[in-house]
Amino acid sequence: MSTKALMPPPSAYGPRRDEILDITMGKSEQPLGVLHHVKDGPTECSQFRFDRRWLGRKLLFSPSPDLRCHPHGQWRARPLSQGRPFFAALADTQPDGFAQAILERSLGEATLTTHPLAGLESRALVSLCATHDLCRLGALRIRPRNPALTVSGRRFDLPFTADLDTMARAAAAFERGEADERQTRLLLFSATALGGSRPKVCFVQDAQKQDGGTLAVARLPSVFDRYPVAKAEMLLGQLAREVGIRVVDMALKNLCEGSVLITQRLDRDMDGGRKPYLSARSLLLAEEGEEPDWLDLLAVMRTCSKVFGADARQLWLRLVFMRLINARVSLGRFGFVYRSLACWELAPATALRPAMESERQQATSRLQWQGPRWDLDQLLRQSVAFGIPQYEARTLLRRMVEVIGRWKVKAEQYPVRMTNTDIASLEAAMENAQLRKARELVGGRRP
């Protein structure tokens, strides 16, 4: 996204529709500014203007790198047919993957034509407004002035721990194309706030507590799974911690529909406070289709990281680990949360899982790798840029190979407890070409 100020686009033929949305920040809903969205035929854009109360803050910061802290309007036009007409941090809150599929399919069905957003022409505005307010990623909150665009943000609309079996059945029915209206509405409330291709829902954990419980994420099984993904993510999260990678808190829960992985929200405090969030793509202001280099991300991190040295080291460790477990590496898998004094911190790792395609399949797959892709040789050569001397990088790589090499033993133990069939289904992805190459580089042997 360009930081260059844009002029309002020329008028286009077609019915024009203007919507005004108040944007607030955090649990206390501090006024941030006003978003003016314009849809005029094929032209779509938005203007954001900071609230003077926000600009008068003592500890002033911009929640998005493409917004400068001044009182004048700042325009953002849709750059491409698939681009988004909103500033970067707000675009991060729009659903994609499984969540976007729910919106596109459900709001077009006859059974949901009574939904307030069903007839809205701008699909970008639909995806922005449809997200449940309590679940929205990051600290930004949206208050449309048009009541027809307001979607319920009530706590009791969200599922609780006891409802997870129901949500798993709803997600499975949706993937099979068999979801009824009730199941679709359940998913619209709880499954449209977070990105990613896999089904997941936000739910209220420990609701019996005095504070009403905390918001957590249940990563649900998919009808297309070829291995026990929840157990694999739990296993790989444990291995990642063992090699020094910060990982989000996780727990496995067995349901009638299978195992689910419960994870804490990266963008929430223990007391339910909301943290501003930016994806790595937004931090780089990269448009759809652009593939910046990891060194470009490092350069931006150097200017805005709270503790650059620690974050750069974590980034390198995660990149190497993800290559060794055959995980897809993309900018969307890295996020940053706001700390203080206009500084950001690399968020803990989550959703560490191997891709089942072979190297040849990955090159031709419809779900191609997005973003920069470095192999092990390149990561070792460039380790100094991440603040890691090359001799230490080889030591760290050797340690990773040793830890990952014990994955079968770890998989049989608590809390993962994979069966022999589970382990066999995962072996092809875990014993991959990059891990074999790493063993050769460090002189290790397969256990």
Domain residue spans of the chain: 1-87, 92-224, 277-442
CA distance 4 to 342: 20
Per-residue pLDDT at 114: 63
Per-residue pLDDT at 362: 42
pLDDT band for 78, please (50, 70, 90 cuts): confident
Centroid of chain to Cα 415: 25
Cis peptide before 415 (omega within 30 of 0): yes
Q: Which of 50-64, 73-87, 119-133 has the highest mean pLDDT?
A: 50-64
Per-residue pLDDT at 275: 95
Q: Are 262 and 216 in contact (CB under 8 A)?
A: yes
- Written as six digits, the tokens of 145 are 């002035």
Average pLDDT (215-227) is 94
pLDDT band for 183, please (50, 70, 90 cuts): very high
Q: What is the CA radius of gyration of the chain?
A: 22
Taking residue 88's Cβ as centre, other Cβ atoms within 10 Å add up to: 23
Is the pLDDT reported for residue 106 higher than 60? yes
Per-residue pLDDT at 14: 58
CA distance 107 to 117: 7
Burial of 98 (0-12, 13-18, 19+ CB in 10 A): buried
Helices (H) and strands (E) in the chain, counts: 16, 12
Is the pLDDT reported for residue 1 higher than 50? no
User: Which phi-psi region, left, alpha or beta, contains residue 177 (left: φ > 0; alpha: ψ -120 to 50)?
Assistant: left
Q: Tell me which of 116 and 294 has the higher pLDDT.
A: 294
The count of C-alpha atoms lying within 13 angstroms of the C-alpha of 49, restricted to the half-sphere facing its C-beta, is 9
| Beta strands 30-40 and 16-25, pairing class | antiparallel
CATH for 277-442, options being 1.10.10, 1.10.1420, 3.40.50, 1.10.1070: 1.10.1070
Per-residue pLDDT at 289: 75
Per-residue pLDDT at 307: 96
pLDDT band for 358, please (50, 70, 90 cuts): very low
The rounded mean pLDDT for the chain is 87
Q: Are 144 and 129 in contact (CB under 8 A)?
A: yes
pLDDT band for 48, please (50, 70, 90 cuts): very high
Q: Which residue has the tokens 């059945």?
A: 169
Cα–Cα nearest to 327, from 228, 435, 443, 215: 435
- Written as six digits, the tokens of 28 are 């206390």
Lowest-pLDDT choice from 2-16, 286-300, 364-378 = 2-16
